[in-house]
C-alpha cells in the first residue's frame, strides 16, 4: 500500500532539488543516478530513456530508494523507498515539464528513436528528517 506524502516531503519534491535514485544491478550491487523529480497525482515521478541502466534494473526489480536533499539547507532531506511502475512517454511531456521546473526552458531536442518512459514511485517507507 502506497503512503501519502506529507506537505514537507511534497515541498522538497516540488523545489529545484536534485534526487539520487538507487537501483539494484543484476549482481545485487547498488547503482545510483541523479535525476530531476516531480509530482503527479501525489506520487514522485521522473523521466528516463528506455536504454538507461536504471530502467533496465527497475524492469527486472522494481524496488528503488530515492534521496532528496534541500538545495538551500542540505541538513533537510528525505528518503523514499518503494516500488515503481514504468510507462511509456511517447509525447516526451515529463522531460519538458521537469526542464521548465529546473531550468525555465525547453529541453534539448531528442531524436524520434529516443524512447522516454515515466518512472512512478509507489512509496512504502519514508525516512530522513523531512517526513
What confidence tens digit (pLDDT) does each residue in 60-94 have?
999 999 999 999 999 999 999 999 999 999 999 99
Asked whether residue 25 carries a pLDDT value surpassing 80, the answer given is: yes
User: Is there a domain that residue 1 lies in?
Assistant: no
Sequence-distant contacts of 33-42: CB under 8 A, at least 24 apart:
36/98, 36/99, 36/101, 36/102, 37/13, 37/66, 37/68, 37/98, 38/13, 38/14, 38/94, 38/97, 38/98, 38/101, 39/5, 39/10, 39/13, 39/14, 40/118, 40/120, 42/4, 42/5, 42/10
Identify the CATH number of the domain in which residue 83 sits.
2.30.110.10
5 Cα distance to chain centroid: 14
Question: Into how many domains does the chain fold?
Answer: 1
User: Whole domain around residue 124: which residue ranges?
Assistant: 7-128
User: Is there a domain that residue 58 lies in?
Assistant: yes
116's enclosing H/E stretch is strand 116-128
User: Is there a domain that residue 45 lies in?
Assistant: yes
Asked whether residue 18 carries a pLDDT value surpassing 80, the answer given is: yes
Report d(CA 122, CA 118) in Å as an integer.
13
Amino acid at each position: 500500500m502506497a503512503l501519502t506524502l506529507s506537505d514537507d516531503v511534497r515541498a522538497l519534491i516540488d523545489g529545484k532539488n536534485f534526487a539520487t535514485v538507487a537501483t539494484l544491478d543484476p549482481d545485487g550491487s547498488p547503482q545510483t543516478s541523479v535525476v530531476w523529480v516531480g509530482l503527479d497525482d501525489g506520487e514522485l515521478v521522473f523521466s528516463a530513456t528506455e536504454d538507461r541502466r536504471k530502467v533496465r534494473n527497475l524492469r527486472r526489480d522494481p524496488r528503488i530508494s530515492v534521496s532528496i536533499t534541500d538545495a538551500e539547507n542540505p541538513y533537510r532531506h528525505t528518503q523514499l523507498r518503494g516500488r515503481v511502475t514504468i510507462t511509456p512517454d511517447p509525447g516526451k511531456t515529463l522531460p519538458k515539464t521537469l526542464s521548465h521546473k529546473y531550468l525555465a526552458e525547453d529541453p534539448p531536442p531528442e531524436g524520434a528513436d529516443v524512447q522516454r518512459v515515466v518512472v512512478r514511485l509507489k512509496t512504502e517507507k519514508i525516512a530522513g528528517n523531512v517526513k
